[in-house]
Amino acid sequence: MIRLRPSRLVWSTIFLLLGVAAGRAQSPSATPPPSPAPIRVMILGTYHFGNPNQDLHDVKADNMLTPKRQEELADLANRLARFAPTAVAVESTAKRPDFTDPGYEKFTAADLAKDANETTQIGYRLARQLGHKAVYDIDEQSETVDYFPFGKVQEFVEAHGQTGVLERLHADVQTDMAAIEETQKTQPVRLALARMNEPAYILHSNDAFYYTFLKMADARTQPGAELNAMWYMRNAKIFSKLTLTAKPGDRIVVIFGGGHCYWLRHLVEHTPGYQLVEPNEYLK
């Protein structure tokens, strides 16, 4: 019986074909799937237009229902509309699992002459102008959790003779509020808001106020650290709710009290898939 042996050329060809096949099996796809479109978020920090006096410090707002202020707010909405938002989120606590705001569904243009609240004057106004079917409530509040345990800080400084530090902090913040009130007297609302939304102002306001509390501590109690932790938690929950309403490619305007800006901006900047948009690109 005669056995045929493959030539060296045949063996070389076989090995070459096997190698090519293996390479094809191991190589990744030539065109990887595209990344989801980023979610662009504008955090618009505001003072409270209706003067609810519920915050430790806040700007005393002018009457937003006058013809002059209404004209300025219409201009503000037009400027924000240039961002082409696909969604608007506001500082209200959700009553529905999908976070849609029932107040917006009842909103009419007549409400702009009656309700000074920034949710109505900016949020509802902008959403209606853009034809949105919903506004989203993403605030975090609790009847059992104190997200701003300032009382414990106050008790500590009084017991340890540090009331002077706290008084200086209050005075510094009050000076900032007075400066915004002065801007409001001579300039349109958008420029008063622009002052609050300057990145340098936001950084300074947070660090000078909240981080000074960290020094209010001893070996057994650290009430200032607890206040910072709880304030972060509230803002983290607010942002978490925002992510539940967002989808790739969205362009979202978030309208919240200015004190929330530092952490909400931080969370947008450091969360994959999100991009921060500066409101002052539109306010100025």
Q: What are 94-130's pLDDT values in tens digits?
A: 999 999 999 999 999 999 999 999 999 999 999 999 9
pLDDT band for position 16 (cuts 50, 70, 90): very low
* Rounded Cα–Cα distance for residues 142 and 147 (Å): 8
* Rounded Cα–Cα distance for residues 62 and 49 (Å): 7
**How far, in Å, are 8, 49, 259 from residue 118 at the CA level?**
84, 5, 15
pLDDT in the model for residue 19: 47
Instruction: Please determine, for residue 60, whether its predicted confidence score (pLDDT) is greater than 90.
Output: no
Mean pLDDT of 54-69: 81
Share of the chain above pLDDT 90, in %: 71
In the chain, what's the furthest Cα-to-Cα distance? 110
Q: What are 186-239's pLDDT values in tens digits?
A: 999 999 999 999 999 999 989 888 999 999 999 999 999 999 999 999 999 999
pLDDT in the model for residue 177: 84
Find all residues with CB under 8 Å of 93, minimum gap 6, and list them: 137, 139, 140, 141
* Rounded Cα–Cα distance for residues 179 and 181 (Å): 5
User: Counting Cβ atoms within 10 Å, is residue 152 exposed (0-12), middle (13-18) or buried (19+)?
Assistant: middle
The larger pLDDT score, comparing residue 276 to residue 5, is at: 276
Q: What are 124-168's pLDDT values in tens digits?
A: 999 999 999 999 999 999 999 999 999 999 999 999 988 888 888
Q: Which three-class secondary structure string do you get for the chain?
A: CCCCCCCHHHHHHHHHHHHHHHHHHHCCCCCCCCCCCCEEEEEEEECCCCCCCCCCCCCCCCCCCCHHHHHHHHHHHHHHHCCCCCEEEEEEECCCCCCECHHHHHCCHHHHHCCCCHHHHHHHHHHHHCCCCCCEEEECCCCCCCCCCHHHHHHHHHHCCCHHHHHHHHHHHHHHHHHHHHHHHHCCHHHHHHHHCCHHHHHHHHHHHCHHHHHCCCCCCCHHHHHHHHHHHHHHHHHHHHHHHCCCCCEEEEEEEHHHHHHHHHHHHHCCCEEEECCHHHHC
DSSP bridge partners of 195? none
